[in-house]
Chains A and B, each alone.
Chain A
Amino acid sequence: MSSRYGRLKTAIAVASAGAVLLGAGYLGTHGTSSVTAAAAGAETATATATVATAQTSRVQAKPTTAAKQKTSRGS
């Protein structure tokens, strides 16, 4: 490609890079995150698996009331 209109092309490229950064900043505050997108019903097998794993680990980390009672009785 020839180097004609080089300054204009550079300006367009810089403006595009700036628009990406500004746009990302705007979407960061006003947009929808990937987690929210998945929770809104757009999740897939991978996303579901990730959520399920997180839930399982949370359940495992928190012992049930019955288990607590059993432990206290046993001691």
Chain B
Amino acid sequence: MKGIAGAALVLLGAMFVSALGLHGGALGQWPWFISRASGLVAFGLLTGSVVMGLLVRTKVADGVLARPLTFELHQFLAILTLVLLGVHAGSLLFDGFFQFTPVSVVVPFAAPYRPLWTGLGVVAGWAAALVAASFWARRRIGQRRWRQFHYISFGAYLLALVHGLTAGTDSGLALVYLFYGSSSAAVFALLAYRILAPRPKRQRVPSRLPLGSLNRS
């Protein structure tokens, strides 16, 4: 079963790469539509990653989902988001109308299409990449700093949302609008819970028991 799924993924990837290998003009508007679709899927995955991260922190889903699974999905979705962002930006290079260059898809505010709003998306992408990379630097930088650094992910999510709403040509579609709405509702509801809900106080266990505490019998 796992092999079949893996083979299907490779096949889909091969189809996509071979399609992109064709001349941009021959592909017509398809790179544009693939970019839009992969952007929406990337946003969905980013939503999933942020939601999973908030579920780990708030412990809301502890009775339903095992914490290791939630954390594993949080990491995995963050990395898959980057893969989809690569497709989102890479397919623009093959658009038959707008002349995107490798520089204009990685440098903020250098795009030939709505530079400001596209630029916000580029910044969001870099921020998401930094947060994903920090998973590997966790031990080196320490738990506290890693957690502080992780707050960037909320900025990345917000910028991605603004980018999608302003630069996305299909944001007016009811289905897409519903998608953005439900995503932001889930994230902001969990974020509000994270901020407002009373946190359980940690019971500090003294590293050393006071002298005489064991001799009470």
A62 at the interface (CB under 8 A from B): no
A35 at the interface (CB under 8 A from B): yes
Name the CB-closest residue of B to A38. Answer: B97
Question: Which range holds the interface residue count of chain B?
Answer: 35 or more
Q: A11-B5, A14-B5 are in contact. Are A47 and B12 (CB under 8 A)?
A: no
Name the CB-closest residue of A to B6. Answer: A10
B32 at the interface (CB under 8 A from A): yes
Q: Which of A4-47 contact B (CB under 8 A)?
A: 4-14, 16-28, 30-38, 42, 44-47
A69 shortest CB reach to chain B, Å:
37
Q: Within 8 Å CB of A18, what residues of B?
A: 12
Let me know if A1 and B75 touch, CB within 8 A.
yes
Let me know if B80 and A21 touch, CB within 8 A.
no
B112 at the interface (CB under 8 A from A): yes
- Describe B's contact surface by its main secondary structure: helix
Let me know if A38 and B98 touch, CB within 8 A.
yes
Q: How far is the CA of A12 from the CA of B95 in the complex (A)?
A: 27
Let me know if B2 and A24 touch, CB within 8 A.
no
B161 at the interface (CB under 8 A from A): no
Known: A27-B33, A34-B95. 12 other contacts (CB 8 A): A5-B76, A6-B2, A14-B5, A21-B37, A23-B33, A24-B38, A27-B36, A31-B36, A31-B170, A32-B169, A35-B29, A44-B114
Q: A2-B72, A44-B112 are in contact. Are A24 and B98 (CB under 8 A)?
A: no
Let me know if A47 and B97 touch, CB within 8 A.
yes
A50 at the interface (CB under 8 A from B): yes
Q: A14-B8, A20-B84, A37-B169 are in contact. Are A44 and B97 (CB under 8 A)?
A: no
